[in-house]
Amino acid sequence: MSATSLSALAQTLHSLPDPRSKQGVSHPYHGMLALVLIGLLAEMPYIAQIRRWAQRYWHILRKPLGFKRTKPPVDTTLVRALAKTTVADFQEALAQFLREALAEDHESLVAAVDGKTAKQMKGADDEPLHLLNVFVQNVKVSLAHYSVTGEKTNEPGCLKTHLASLLEQYPLLKLLTGDAIFAQRPLLDVLQEHGCDYLFQIKANQPEILDAAKTCFAKADPNKTDDIDFKKKGRMSKYVDYGVTSTMPIMFVNG
């Protein structure tokens, strides 16, 4: 992350009010939030790790993040700052930073939706958490994750519930890809209502949707094609749009 990006991150977090008393303040509140966020993005889950890492690279981090002291804040200072910050406010500030950063280099985004079970993490019912992730492959950034277990639904239902807020937060998101489980008519209807394109697989055990897709492809004009390359699992594949995506319920068929 460049010095410019570090400064932009700290500046974005200024949208959060500083909940501390003005007396006895030694370190900038928003700089500490940015420092912890960078550490988490670098897969350092513990404050002690982040502090040791910050001390090693303090000559690079200090100025862009707005710190004036020659040493990074101690562990307890970072913990107290986090304790005064709500998860919702932190997530919104991060979303704002991602929107601005991604808009600099991208006119639109393609994201994969996929459910994963976090076996190391358990919910209130002591069961492993099942999360739905929205991941932009080409920039390797997760835009959002939602608890499928906590909402007592399945992956398509979870995406349907959060789709409006997801597209509102990230207006550059124009195409979603996913496995066959997402090729369900209620979800696809909502995607079309929001003007979001989708690229989901259909298997032979979904005969009604598969027949509908075949019917749409049968009416396609082979002289009007627009090839779109996309990457999945380390290999390049090609999707051919035959001009029927506005009428067909699915955009990818896997027999």
- Predicted local confidence at residue 238, as pLDDT: 41
Residues 183-195: pLDDT tens digits?
888 898 999 999 9
Where residue 228 falls among pLDDT bands split at 50, 70, 90? very low
The pTM assigned to this predicted structure is 0.62
Provide the pairing of β-strand 141-147 with 226-232: unpaired
| E strands, 150-202, in order | 173-178, 197-200
Mean predicted confidence (pLDDT) in 207-218:
76
Distance CA(185)–CA(206), nearest Å, equals 11
Q: Say what percent of the chain tops pLDDT 90.
A: 25
Could you give phi then psi for residue 149, rounded to 5 degrees? Answer: -65, -45
Contact 82, 90 (CB under 8 A): no
- Predicted local confidence at residue 249, as pLDDT: 39
Q: Say what percent of the chain tops pLDDT 70.
A: 78
73 by Cβ neighbours in 10 Å (0-12 / 13-18 / 19+) ranks as buried
The total number of residues shown for the chain amounts to 255
Could you give phi then psi for residue 91, rounded to 5 degrees? Answer: -65, -40
Contact 233, 241 (CB under 8 A): no
Residues 140-154: pLDDT tens digits?
888 888 888 777 788
Identify the H or E element spanning 102: helix 87-103
CB atoms within 10 A of CB 209: 20
DSSP state of 127: S
Mean predicted confidence (pLDDT) in 35-60:
89
By three-state DSSP, how is residue 118 classified? strand
